[in-house]
């Protein structure tokens, strides 16, 4: 499932923020909070602050499959999006409804981040909660 988006900015501040944003590791918490790291970070560092959770890459999530947990010694990649999920979800196959809910949370968190750093969203965020397919006007996210 892919979510397509485009990036539009109009200020020098936004251009500078874009450089940081592209290099930031982004973590979406299961409750919808966005956490960004602009320096190298290992998954174990994030997990030490969230002991009842696990990290997974947005690129390794598939409907009907268990979500693979990142090893604690893995360095998180700049520009990538990760999800911090409760350990209780580690043994449950990912449903389409769960994946759609995570996509909506990511969309909301990234949209709020856009507003905070001065990006102008000219065409809005479109999400159909019935089908789970959406568009975010920021960047392509593979879930």
Span 32-70, pLDDT tens digits:
999 999 889 999 999 999 999 999 999 999 999 999 999
**pLDDT band, very low/low/confident/very high, at 22 (cuts 50, 70, 90):** low
Over 80: is that where the pLDDT of 106 sits? yes
The predicted pLDDT at position 121 comes to 40
Round to whole Å and give the CA distance between 56 and 65.
Answer: 13
Q: For the chain, how big is the Rg over CA atoms in Å?
A: 15
Domain span at 101 = 2-142
pTM more than 0.85: no
Report the domain count for the chain. Answer: 1
| Residue 67 belongs to domain with CATH number | 3.10.20.30
The predicted pLDDT at position 112 comes to 72
Q: What is the mean pLDDT of residues 72-94?
A: 94
**pLDDT band, very low/low/confident/very high, at 73 (cuts 50, 70, 90):** very high
The predicted pLDDT at position 36 comes to 92
The predicted pLDDT at position 109 comes to 86
Over 70: is that where the pLDDT of 88 sits? yes
User: Which whole-number Å values give the CA distances from 68 to 14, 49, 60, 125, in the listed order?
Assistant: 34, 20, 7, 29
Over 60: is that where the pLDDT of 9 sits? no
Round to whole Å and give the CA distance between 82 and 113.
Answer: 15
The predicted pLDDT at position 20 comes to 53
What average pLDDT does the chain have? 75
Over 80: is that where the pLDDT of 119 sits? no
């Amino acid at each position: 499932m892919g979510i397509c988006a485009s990036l539009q900015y109009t200020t020098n501040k936004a251009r500078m923020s874009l450089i940081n944003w592209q290099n930031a590791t982004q973590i979406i918490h299961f409750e919808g909070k966005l956490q960004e790291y602009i320096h190298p970070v290992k998954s174990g560092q994030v997990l030490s602050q969230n002991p009842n959770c696990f990290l997974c890459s947005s690129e390794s999530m598939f409907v009907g499959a268990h979500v693979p947990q990142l090893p604690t010694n893995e360095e998180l990649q700049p520009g990538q999006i990760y999800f911090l999920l409760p350990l209780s979800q580690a043994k449950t196959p990912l449903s389409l409804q769960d994946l759609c809910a995570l996509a909506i949370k990511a969309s909301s968190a990234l949209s709020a981040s856009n507003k905070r750093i001065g990006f102008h969203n000219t065409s809005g965020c479109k999400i159909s909660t019935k089908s789970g397919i959406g568009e975010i006007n920021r960047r392509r996210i593979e879930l």
